[in-house]
C-alpha cells in the first residue's frame, strides 16, 4: 500500500518550512493529493526524486560584510537576515562573512566568493545591498555572475545613505586602508597622524554639509 505524508511530515522530511512545501507545490515541483477533508497528502515515493534534485542543486551564496571589527554585531544581523531570506525560499545556503574596507579587493571572503563563481559552485548570490561587495566595482562581480549564469539578488534596492553620508563613508574607508599600513609600523607618530587626519576629515565634511544647507536657503 502506498505511503503518504502530511504537509508537516513532508516539511520535516526536507528540513524546510510548511510554507516552502506550499510554494514548491504552486511552482509544480511537488504534487499532492487531497483527502475528503481537503488536506494535502504527498506520496512518499515521489519525494525521493525531489530529494535527489535538492541534493544536486548548487547552493545559494550569501555574502555579508562590514568595514571594521567593532561592527561585528552589524555583521551578524546582516548575515542572519540574508540566511533567513534564503531559508524562507527553501534554498540551500552557504554564508561568507567578511570584515574589511569596501575599497579592498584582497579580502579573503571576497576572493572565496569569486572563486566559487568561477568554479560554477553556486546558483545565486544574495547581498543586502551592492556596496557590501565593493564600494567601487561591484558591477565587475555582477558581470562575472551574468557570464556564469549566477542569479544576483539585492535585498535592499533603495539607497540606505544620503550622498553626504556615502561621501563620509568613502573618505573614512580610504583613511582606514591608509591606517592599516601605517599601524603596522607601530609608530606613535603614525597613529597620531591617522587620528588627526580622521578628525580633520570629519570636521571638514561637517563644514561642507553645513555650507550646502546654507546655500539652499
Handedness of CA 91, 96, 100, 102 (dihedral sign): negative
Picking from 99, 102, 83, the residue whose alpha carbon sits closest to that of residue 91 is 83
Candidate from 58-62, 130-134, 188-192 with smallest mean pLDDT: 188-192
pLDDT attached to residue 215 = 46
For the segment 104-141, what is each residue's pLDDT rounded down to a tens digit? 778 889 999 999 999 888 989 999 988 788 777 788 88
pLDDT attached to residue 191 = 57
For the segment 15-31, what is each residue's pLDDT rounded down to a tens digit? 667 887 888 888 787 88
- Per the annotation, the verdict on 31 as an active-site residue is no
pLDDT attached to residue 214 = 47
DSSP state, residue 127: E
- Decide if pLDDT at 159 tops 60: no
- Decide if pLDDT at 71 tops 70: yes
The residue ranking higher by pLDDT, 185 or 54, is: 54
Alpha-carbon distance of 190 to 196, in angstroms, equals 10
CB 92 within 8 A of CB 57: yes
Sequence-distant (6+) residues with CB within 8 A of 87 are 16, 17, 93
Write down the mean pLDDT value for the chain.
Answer: 76
Q: Which of 67, 101, 128, 138 is catalytic?
A: 67
Picking from 63, 58, 59, 60, the residue whose alpha carbon sits closest to that of residue 127 is 63
CA Rg, the chain, in Å?
24
Q: Where are the beta strands (DSSP E) in the chain?
A: 4-5, 33-34, 40-43, 60-66, 93-99, 124-127, 151-154
Over residues 87-98, the mean pLDDT reads: 87
pLDDT attached to residue 22 = 86
pTM of the model: 0.55
Compute the CA torsion angle 21, 93, 160, 198 (nearest 10 deg): 160
Count the alpha carbons within 13 Å of 24 in the hemisphere toward its beta carbon: 24
Picking from 94, 110, 98, the residue whose alpha carbon sits closest to that of residue 61 is 94
Give whichever of 83-97, 134-148, 166-180, 203-217 has the largest mean pLDDT: 83-97
Count the alpha carbons within 13 Å of 3 in the hemisphere toward its beta carbon: 7
pLDDT attached to residue 140 = 86
Amino acid at each position: 500500500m502506498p505511503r503518504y505524508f502530511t504537509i508537516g511530515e513532508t516539511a520535516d522530511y526536507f528540513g524546510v518550512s510548511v510554507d516552502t512545501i506550499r510554494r514548491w507545490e504552486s511552482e509544480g515541483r511537488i504534487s499532492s493529493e487531497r483527502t475528503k477533508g481537503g488536506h494535502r497528502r504527498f506520496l512518499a515515493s515521489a519525494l525521493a526524486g525531489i530529494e535527489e534534485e535538492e541534493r544536486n542543486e548548487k547552493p545559494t551564496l550569501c555574502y555579508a560584510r562590514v568595514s571594521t571589527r567593532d561592527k561585528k554585531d552589524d555583521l551578524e544581523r546582516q548575515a542572519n537576515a540574508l540566511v533567513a531570506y534564503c531559508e524562507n525560499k527553501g534554498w540551500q545556503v552557504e554564508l561568507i562573512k567578511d570584515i574589511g574596507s569596501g575599497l579592498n579587493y584582497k579580502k579573503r571572503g571576497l576572493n572565496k566568493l569569486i572563486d566559487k563563481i568561477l568554479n560554477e559552485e553556486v546558483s545565486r548570490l544574495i547581498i543586502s545591498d551592492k556596496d557590501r561587495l565593493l564600494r567601487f566595482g561591484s558591477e565587475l562581480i555582477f558581470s562575472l555572475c551574468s557570464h556564469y549564469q549566477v542569479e544576483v539578488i539585492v535585498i535592499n534596492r533603495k539607497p540606505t545613505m544620503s550622498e553626504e553620508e556615502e561621501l563620509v563613508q568613502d573618505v573614512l574607508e580610504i583613511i582606514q586602508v591608509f591606517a592599516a599600513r601605517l599601524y603596522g609600523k607601530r609608530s606613535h607618530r603614525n597613529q597620531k597622524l591617522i587620528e588627526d587626519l580622521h578628525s580633520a576629515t570629519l570636521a571638514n565634511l561637517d563644514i561642507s554639509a553645513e555650507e550646502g544647507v546654507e546655500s539652499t536657503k
